[in-house]
Amino acid sequence: RQLEPLGSNWVVRTIAGLAGVAGSQDGTPSEARFYYPSGVAVDGSGTLYVADTQNHTIRRLAPSGTNWITTTVAGLAQVPGVAVGIGPDARFSGPAALAATSEGLIYVADTQNNVIRCGQPAPSWHIPSLHITPSPGGMVLSWPLTAQALQLERTADIAAPVWTPLTNGVTVSGG
């Protein structure tokens, strides 16, 4: 919840989740669900990070207009463990507190593993939901429907890129 001063009073509003309803769904403020969120940190850009303790995940709340969009950035809901990894491959067990640095690092008190973990956003070229699989005569790229705005593009010069949609030889199936 967000508390904002209004004169000598405070205005309280829910920016993500539904009171009394546990879950692990990402999305808009009314869609997002948490299961014992316990730690919050804010980075230099105003993005919030939440330790979603009973989901064993780290969640990001990014401002989008007047809303906040929740995404899971590390861990897999309801799957505790201890593993270093990117996105859903990382594992936590009861993360409870967070701290953010101006360099973009996030420190996590991973309480049930008795460790302090450190992570950072993956490079901008990394799309955790994009899967690349070799196949005869090419490759298969797949991503969830929640990333349906994803568009394949190409450039001839990575140093001074001019991106154009890649349509030649692309077959779309399953939406």
**Structure-token match 């995940």, residue found:** 57
pLDDT value of residue 14: 93
pLDDT at 174 over 70: no
How do residues 109-125 score in pLDDT, each as one tens digit? 999 999 999 987 755 44
The model carries a pTM of: 0.69
Q: Which of 41, 23, 128 minimizes the C-alpha distance to 77?
A: 23
**Mean pLDDT score, 119-133:** 61
Distances (CA, A) of 118 to 31, 95, 100, 106, 114: 28, 12, 10, 6, 13
